[in-house]
Structure 1
Amino acid sequence: MKRDSDVDEGPVAEVSGLRVEIGGRAIVDGVSFRVLPGKVTALVGASGSGKTTTGLALLGSYPHGARVTGEVRVAAGERVGHIPQHPATVLAPARRIDALLTDIARPRVRHLPRGRRRAAARTLVVRALTDAQIPDAEHLLRRYPHQLSGGQQQRVVLAQALLLGSRIVVADEPTTGQDSLTKGRVVEQLAAVAARGIAVVLLSHDLEVVRALADEVVVMRAGKVVESGPSPRVWAAPRHTWTRELLRSGEESPSFDDALRVGPPALSVRGLTARHSGARYAASTAVVLRVPELDLGAGECLAVVGRSGSGKTTLARCLAGLHRGHDGEVLLDGTPLPRSLRDRHRAQLAAVQYVFQDAQAAFDEHRSVLHQVARSAVRLRGADAETARREALTTTARLGLPEDTVRRRPGKLSGGELQRAALARALLARPRVLLCDEITSGLDTVTRRDILRTLTELVRERADMSVVLITHDLETAALAHRLAVLDAGEVVEQGPAQEVLSAPRHPFTRSLVGSLERPAARTGP
């Protein structure tokens, strides 16, 4: 089907023989491709393959100390927008969303009389948020970035790019951390952006999103392009063995069913009501989560699903002692846990470990990853430094991180590599309960499969460890024993995962399951 944007125009950007070296090591090696107006060019590959470095080259941004050769040409006068993989890094934490977006909108209304500028800027901001699939824009504008879920932060950054009026948009994992309903809307939005003649460079691990959006696909591995071509051809007849492995791994997932053994409750929730802190929230609007009762069996995997902002992360933070503003009880083996992390003793801290969605923000940028992973065993278990270092190297290697990688500082690792390091750090505490907040959402299909397989193996070895999977991905949730569905801060359904997914009772659960239908691939003219 021919789109309005399918016109014979030259490229708005072109990358030719790009090579980026850091410390003599090439992280991008000889990459070439063209960016056409109205087209979606997808860069796909494993974590650390060079996708993000290549995409940022279009903005003229390179890692500190990099040696760059080759050529990156952007057409004169064209502005390049950027949607980063970790949206919190570009949202000023001390400013409300209203102020952040209004600053971007103001230059576009300077031609208006002074008395009309404020209202006009507000209209632009609300329109951009609506286009970015944020329905309750007025309510969200009053919040600070830390009060938003990862998916909401991602959509605010998309709104920033739309406000800038960019003719090229580099979208780095724009659907990471999004529920399936919102993911579909983001796909529709980016398709609409391309239909208006804007070039989209999509960096993504999500092959279904790439299938639905991309006109051209560039497959990368270890900094090199191993295959490229029109999207329909790449999907139908992949030529390189790595491309075939990526496609095959998307259809293979280990199951927790054989790896975990259900036992008596290890963690219980009773009468939990969580609120946002701060005097500016009225009592009637402060409640963000209500969980009357929830149990996690020893050796059990519980998946918690729902839309962005439904309260999934707030629930995990309450369990971990990171959200003090709640009533009710969280019990570990029948004993109430202090609400605040600060009041929990070392054994309690070790028992409940949190793996954050934004792994980059969870690491100290000035210390090596190996030091920080090993520190978990020293601080929480009293292990000596050498024993902790050996355990850290063994665990990170098992998760696919070689020693030369973990000896670097966090800024030298990709998002997927940092996510694996964060999981290793939590495992070194030998927890009773492992809280995994979207730990596979930013991973390629091969790494996702390997991480889940390794996690099930580790739990098989430690049958007393339970897992809470906070996820937007129903295919990942289907691997768990039980499933809890959140909507607008309420548990609307829970039960055995396969039972809930095969015969959902609540209308919201039915809508989530219905959104699992695979999107049709875009076709060329």
Structure 2
Amino acid sequence: MSRPPSNEHGPIPVLRVEGLTVAYRRGDEWLAAVRDLSLALPAGQVCGLVGESGSGKTTLALAVMRYLPREGQVRAGSIEFAGRNLLALGRGQMRHLWGKEMALVPQDPLSSLNPSLRLGRQVADVLRYRGGLDARQARRRVLELFDSVHLDDPERVAGSYPHQVSGGMLQRVLIAMALSTEPQLLILDEPTTGLDVTTEAAILELLRELIRGRRTAVLYITHNLGVVAQISDRVVVLYAGEVFEDAPTAELFRQPLHPYTQGLLDSVPRLGQNKEQVQLRPIQGRIPELDALPRGCIFRPRCPLAIDVCLEQPPLYDAGPRREARCHRWDEIARQEVSARQPAAAPNEPPADAEGAERQQLVLQGRALAVHFPGRRSLADLLARRPRAGVKAVDGVDLSIRRGATLGLVGESGSGKTTLARAIGGLVERSGGSLEFREIPLPPGLRGRSDDVLCCLQIVFQNPEEALNPYLSVGETLRRPIMRLLDLSRPEADERVAALLQAVGLPAEMARRLPGQLSGGQKQRVAIARAFAPNPHLLIADEPVTSLDVSVQASILNLLVELQARQGNATLFISHDLAVVGYLADEVAVMYRGQFMETGPVEAVFRPPYHPYTEVLLSSVPIIGAEKQKMARAGAEERPEPPGELTGCPFHTRCPRFLGKICVEEVPPWRVDEESGKAAFCHIPLEELRAAQAHQAPLRPGGDAPPGGGEEGRR
């Protein structure tokens, strides 16, 4: 909480921060990134820290850990850890605390692990240096820790290098390392951002389990409101370095008292919402620069409830038991006299020609698409003349996308989603199958494709940093494909650039800026503008909103809907966020191990009967406003796989409705529901799935099979 409570009747908090101001040097001046911040965190409590990028979340974490870079400095306030003044400790004294009594788990595990050392060795080094164990004790403890974080085959993981295991496994290794010395304080900085829903659910469930057993105080930093709703006891909302709201989690999500918190919640698509029913409401404007903070309330320029009194800086008001809000109108909001939460926006306009014959035109059709990568053969394989064991990244999928429609592609990391998209785009050559674009056969690679095809098929990648040339201005970035693919003159291209910037909601003067001068959301808007520059018939969007703030994400989703309505393009939208796909897509394909498990209209696929894999994915989605749910524990549910190529159903090693021998040995049939248009790749008839799923919450991996399940029920 922002004004630390008195500890007269209770233990001293593990972490107590009072009046903290942290600033960064820019030239001859200091710019405060965190201002007058206070909080107290007792043992066993999880405090969620949320806010847009630039709010000061990571700066606070680095200040608490005394990890601030050279240009950063604590300018005022105090930080106490277990009763000790951290700001009075020297570097040597802090080294005794780091990794032993306080630990930090960063967002990107690869940047925190040594790529040249095996994972077991890296954790063992921490145990020997911090815990005083000898080599044999450390080795044994590493295996115990890896088992405690539910890593399958701890021996194998301990002997692996970071690049040889998945992102979810690396995050578990970092958590094991952080908890290896039983720290009193654990700081988690976006530990699940970028992970798929089942891996995220497994990490969250693991953290809850470990925190319960150790009474560790946890500061959990994230921009994912669904995650913070599920794991936190309290939530602190930061904006441009100031605490805007502080409340118990359930109370904050039930009735937020600050317009900024309300805006964040309204920006998030919920499962069951669709673009045809509601339009997302992002917060207008952007977070202010530290050297240009507005007068009075710093949220005033973006706030729909701003009035004259907001020209005065608001204090942090006591808004009830264990609640605080930095808003002059918090009491009016509490009495529901005013609200920043507007009525649901009107549904989006349907795509152009939605009722005409063009709406039925197939833009893309693929049959039996396959992408196989050859594996490596060891010397033993060569001597034994064993065939090369390849990887079937995409294994015989059929898909079609019509004009003005969006096909959502969901699945865990490694399911083959991006490989399929790159094969359609010609960036990876397919191994088999046929692909038609506007009824014209497409060659496997880019070289054989005409300029017309290159013009009409465009891709938006997940990371705009990698897609934009840092040395080209925004105007030149947009102008080049226009002049190259549309054969326009320079003046005509300049007019088109201005129109594109207006279409994606960027001012005309942005054309003169370099990518390094733009925010993440602005860069993604430029990438989308470039993709729409040649008027594409098909847009492939590969995780375009992953890692963006919720408000920026909402504006990008609205932009994609608006541009599609205006131009009538087809879209292949890839994401591991099921709520985002459910909002944006018309149809959805659920992918696992290179194959489609379920396809159909999005509203049909996301309601029972589900394919068991779809059921697992939906069960793992953290839900805002719901009671804390037991999250999936991915990995622990895996059944041992037989050596060689997997047979039968691809999902049988994890299926919560596993039937036995038939799932292992026989390829499932496609079960088609003619009424809804959905189809599931499963041995269980849809009627039986519907009956099993009607009377219970969706199963999670490793759950019990439904009564009457088993091999005898099928054979």
TM-score class, shorter: 0.7 to 0.9
Residue 350 of structure 1 deviates from its aligned partner by 3.8
Give yes or no for the alignment of 1:18 onto 2:22.
Answer: yes
Give yes or no for the alignment of 1:39 onto 2:42.
Answer: no
Q: Distance in 2 between matches of 1:141 and 1:155?
A: 13
For structure 2, which runs of at least 5 residues remain unmatched after alignment?
Answer: 1-9, 87-93, 277-347, 379-386, 630-715
The answer on whether the counterparts of 1:48 and 1:416 sit within 8 Å (CA) in structure 2 is: no
Instruction: Describe the superposition over 1:424-461 as per-residue Cα deviations: whole angstroms up to 9, x where unpaired.
Output: 44333533222222223323433333222221111111
User: What residue in structure 1 maps to residue 207 of structure 2?
Assistant: 190
Residue 162 of structure 1 deviates from its aligned partner by 2.8
Q: 1:220 to 1:390 in 2, by over 3 A?
A: farther
Comparing 229-238 and 510-519, the one that deviates more = 510-519
The answer on whether the counterparts of 2:374 and 2:388 sit within 8 Å (CA) in structure 1 is: no
Q: Distance in 1 between matches of 2:40 and 2:451?
A: 53
User: What secondary structure is seen at the aligned counterpart in 2 of 1:34?
Assistant: strand
Q: What amino acid is the match of 2:575?
A: T
Instruction: Describe the superposition over 1:183-224 as per-residue Cα deviations: whole angstroms up to 9, x where unpaired.
Output: 322221232343324443323222121111122322123443
Q: Distance in 2 between matches of 1:384 and 1:66?
A: 49
Q: Sequence identity, in percent?
A: 29
Residue 108 of structure 1 deviates from its aligned partner by 4.2
Residue 300 of structure 1 deviates from its aligned partner by 1.3
The answer on whether the counterparts of 1:44 and 1:219 sit within 8 Å (CA) in structure 2 is: yes
Q: 1:391 to 1:129 in 2, by over 3 A?
A: farther
Q: What amino acid is the match of 1:182?
A: T
Q: Distance in 2 between matches of 1:242 and 1:136?
A: 44
Give yes or no for the alignment of 1:494 onto 2:608.
Answer: no
Q: How does 1:145-184 map to 2 (within 5 A)?
A: 145=163, 152-153=166-167, 155-165=169-179, 167=183, 168-184=185-201
Residue 304 of structure 1 deviates from its aligned partner by 1.0
Q: How does 1:87-106 map to 2 (within 5 A)?
A: 99=117, 101-106=119-124
1:51 paired residue among 53, 57, 60: 57
1:318 paired residue among 414, 423, 426: 423
The answer on whether the counterparts of 2:22 and 2:74 sit within 8 Å (CA) in structure 1 is: yes
More helix, by proportion: 1
| Structure with the larger RCO, 1 or 2 (CA within 8 Å, 6+ apart) | 1
User: What residue in structure 2 maps to residue 303 of structure 1?
Assistant: 408
Q: 1:323 to 1:193 in 2, by over 3 A?
A: farther
Q: What amino acid is the match of 1:468?
A: L
Instruction: Describe the superposition over 1:460-504 as per-residue Cα deviations: whole angstroms up to 9, x where unpaired.
Output: 1111x1111212222222231111011222111111111222233
Give yes or no for the alignment of 1:449 onto 2:554.
Answer: yes
Residue 346 of structure 1 deviates from its aligned partner by 4.5
Residue 310 of structure 1 deviates from its aligned partner by 1.9
User: What residue in structure 2 maps to residue 474 of structure 1?
Assistant: 578
User: What secondary structure is seen at the aligned counterpart in 1 of 2:413?
Assistant: coil
Q: Distance in 2 between matches of 1:368 and 1:38?
A: 50
Task: Indicate the RMSD between aligned Cα atoms, in angstroms.
Answer: 4.2
The answer on whether the counterparts of 1:484 and 1:493 sit within 8 Å (CA) in structure 2 is: yes
Instruction: Describe the superposition over 1:205-257 as per-residue Cα deviations: whole angstroms up to 9, x where unpaired.
Output: 22121111122322123443322233233223322111122223336766168
Q: What amino acid is the match of 1:316?
A: A
User: What secondary structure is seen at the aligned counterpart in 2 of 1:186?
Assistant: helix
Q: 1:181 to 1:343 in 2, by over 3 A?
A: same
Comparing 399-408 and 281-290, the one that deviates more = 399-408
For structure 1, which runs of at least 5 residues remain unmatched after alignment?
Answer: 1-6
Give yes or no for the alignment of 1:200 onto 2:218.
Answer: yes
Q: 1:191 to 1:109 in 2, by over 3 A?
A: closer
Number of aligned pairs?
A: 504
User: What residue in structure 1 maps to residue 369 of structure 2?
Assistant: 272
Q: Distance in 1 between matches of 2:350 and 2:254?
A: 34
User: What residue in structure 2 maps to residue 78 of structure 1?
Assistant: 98
Q: 1:238 to 1:512 in 2, by over 3 A?
A: same
User: What secondary structure is seen at the aligned counterpart in 2 of 1:494?
Assistant: strand
Residue 107 of structure 1 deviates from its aligned partner by 0.7
Q: Distance in 2 between matches of 1:502 and 1:342?
A: 42
Q: Distance in 1 between matches of 2:249 and 2:468?
A: 37
Q: What amino acid is the match of 1:469?
A: F
Instruction: Describe the superposition over 1:84-111 as per-residue Cα deviations: whole angstroms up to 9, x where unpaired.
Output: 555665577xx58xx4524522414657
Q: 1:320 to 1:66 in 2, by over 3 A?
A: farther
Comparing 279-288 and 117-126, the one that deviates more = 117-126
User: What residue in structure 2 maps to residue 430 of structure 1?
Assistant: 535
Residue 302 of structure 1 deviates from its aligned partner by 0.3
Q: 1:355 to 1:515 in 2, by over 3 A?
A: same
User: What residue in structure 2 maps to residue 4 of structure 1?
Assistant: none
Residue 297 of structure 1 deviates from its aligned partner by 1.5
The answer on whether the counterparts of 2:147 and 2:154 sit within 8 Å (CA) in structure 1 is: no
Q: 1:54 to 1:266 in 2, by over 3 A?
A: farther
Q: Distance in 2 between matches of 1:155 and 1:344?
A: 40
Q: Distance in 1 between matches of 2:240 and 2:502?
A: 18
Give yes or no for the alignment of 1:229 onto 2:247.
Answer: yes
User: What residue in structure 2 maps to residue 3 of structure 1?
Assistant: none
Q: How does 1:288-367 map to 2 (within 5 A)?
A: 288-324=393-429, 326-341=431-446, 344=449, 346-364=451-469
Q: 1:425 to 1:239 in 2, by over 3 A?
A: same
The answer on whether the counterparts of 1:370 and 1:407 sit within 8 Å (CA) in structure 2 is: yes
User: What residue in structure 1 maps to residue 659 of structure 2?
Assistant: none
The answer on whether the counterparts of 2:14 and 2:217 sit within 8 Å (CA) in structure 1 is: no
Q: Distance in 1 between matches of 2:504 and 2:399?
A: 30
Relative to the length of structure 2, the TM-score reads 0.60
Relative to the length of structure 1, the TM-score reads 0.79
User: What secondary structure is seen at the aligned counterpart in 1 of 2:47?
Assistant: strand
1:286 paired residue among 385, 391, 396: 391
Residue 178 of structure 1 deviates from its aligned partner by 3.6
Q: Distance in 2 between matches of 1:275 and 1:124?
A: 37
